[in-house]
Amino acid sequence: MLRRGERAVVLGAIAAIVLAAVAGVVTAPTRDLDDPRLSSYLAGPHGAKGLAQTLRHLGMTVEQRRHPYFDLASDGVEPRRAVLLAFLDIDRPTARELVAVRDYVTHGGRVFVAGVTGIETCFGYHSRRLRRGAAADSSPVLSGAWRLPRAGRTLVPMPAESLAAATAERLDGDGCPPRLALRVDTLLGVRGGRPLAIRLGFRSGGEAILLADGGFLTNRSLKETDAGLAVLPWFADGRTRRVVVDEYHQGFGAGGSLLAAAAAWLVGHPPGWALLQLVGVALVAVAGMAVRFGPPRAGVERRRRSPLEHLDALAAGLEGAGGVDTAVSLTVSGLRRRLGRAGALSVEGQRSWLAALELGLPTATGRNAVRELQRTIDQPGGPERALAAAQAVEDVWEQLRPQTTRAAS
C-alpha cells in the first residue's frame, strides 16, 4: 500500500495530466472553423455562439430549439411578448412551418429573422444581394460613428405582381401568402436609402425584425467590428426575457446517443440526482476503506518446519503405518550400495551379507557396529529400531571409508 506522501504525488500527477488535457481541448482549434452555418452551437468565425453567450450575460435565457415549428400553428400555443424566436440564416422551412411562423406573428408573437430564410417573404420582403454589373458587391452601412461590416444584402419589398402570385399559391397549399405590416421602421440602411434591417409592427401587437445580411451576427463581426452595438439593442429592449434560436433548420435536429440521453436524465430529474448521490456516497466509502488508519498490523508469520520436526513427522508416519521393517531394510540396502554391491536382498540374504562383512572388518569397532545392525534386523521394536540401524550404518561407513590426510606444506 502506498504511503501518504506517495499517494499525494500520484494524485498530483493525475491532476496535472487532467488539467493539461483540459487546457489542450480548450485551446486547440475547433472543427467548426470552416463551418458556414450561423449557429449558436458553433464557435468558429462564421458561427453565432458569441451572440448567444452575450445575450446570456445580459440576463436573457437562450434556448436552442431542435425540432420543427409545426406546433406554432396549434391553438394551444399562445404568443408571449417576453419570448423572441430567432431564425439566423437557416435553411428554408417547409410551407406549413412558414405559415405557422407568420400566423404566430400576426397573433401577437415576436420573431427575429436574419439572412435568407424564406420567412421574410411571408411579410412581403425579399433579401436581395447587392451587385455591381454581373459580380456581387457590398455597400457601407449608414451608422454614424460605429464601425460596422459592409452589407452584401438589402431588403426589397415584393412587387404587387409577386404579392398577387404569392396569394394565388394559397389555393395550392404550397406557399406562404404575405401579411403586410401596419408599421415599418428602418433600423439600419445602406447608401441609396435601401433598408438593411427593419422592424414590422402588426395590429395584434406582433413584431418581426428582418435583417437582410446575417454576417452582422457572426462571431468575427461581433469581435472585430461594432456590430454588437447596433444589433444587441434589438434583443435587449427591456421586453425580451427568453430568446429561442432555431437550430433544427441549421442541421442540429433532435437526436443523440443513449449515453447522452442517460446523462441528461441523471442531471435533469430528481431520481437521477438521487442515483448520482448514492454513487458519490459509495465512492467516498470505497475511498475511506482504501486508506489505512493507525499503525501497521503485524502480518501472519509463516516459517518452514525444522529438520527435527520433519524427522518427528516421519517417525510418527512410520509408526502409524508399521513401516519400521521397511526402513531398516532400506538402510541396510543403502549401506550395500555405498560399498558397490548392487541388487536387492531378502532378509536372509542381508543377514548372510552382514556376517561376511563382519569377518572382513579389521577393527573391533567396525565389527561391533555390524553386530548392532544385525540386531536391528532380528529384534522386534518400534521406531527406535530405524534410528539404531541408521546410527550403526554410519559407524560401519566411518570404519570402511578411506581416510584423507592433509598434504604437508
pLDDT at 171: 44
Cell output for 187: 433600423
Task: Provide DSSP, 347-389.
Answer: HHHHHHHHHHHHHH--SHHHHHHHHHHHHHHHS--SHHHHHHH
pLDDT at 344: 65
- In the CATH scheme, what architecture does the domain 32-256 have? 3-Layer(aba) Sandwich (3.40)
pLDDT at 83: 92
pLDDT at 409: 41
Cell output for 120: 421574410
How many whole angstroms separate alpha carbon 282 and alpha carbon 293? 19
Confidence (pTM) = 0.56
Give Cα separations from 102 to 118, 132, 291 (angstroms): 11, 33, 66
Taking the CA atoms of the chain, what radius of gyration do you get in angstroms?
51
Give the start-end residues of each E strand in 115-260: 125-129, 131-132, 135-136, 141-142, 153-157, 183-190, 195-201, 207-211, 242-246
Q: Are 206 and 109 in contact (CB under 8 A)?
A: yes
Q: Are 81 and 57 in contact (CB under 8 A)?
A: no
So where are the chain's domains?
32-256, 318-400
pLDDT at 161: 59
pLDDT at 338: 73
pLDDT at 164: 58
Closest CA to 243 of 67, 75, 53: 53
pLDDT at 73: 61
Place of cell 395584434: 204
pLDDT at 293: 61
**Residue 153: exposed, middle, or buried by beta-carbon count in 10 A (0-12, 13-18, 19+)?**
buried
pLDDT along the chain (409 residues), means of 10: 61 73 57 81 90 94 90 67 92 92 92 93 90 69 83 86 57 72 91 89 93 92 90 91 92 69 75 83 78 66 65 62 70 73 70 74 76 74 71 75 52
DSSP H or E segment with residue 408: none
**Could you tell me the sign of the dihedral formed by the alpha carbons of 194, 197, 202, 205, in that order?**
negative
Q: Are 308 and 316 in contact (CB under 8 A)?
A: no
**HEC-encoded secondary structure of 120-147:** HHHHCEEEEECEECCEECCECEECCCCC
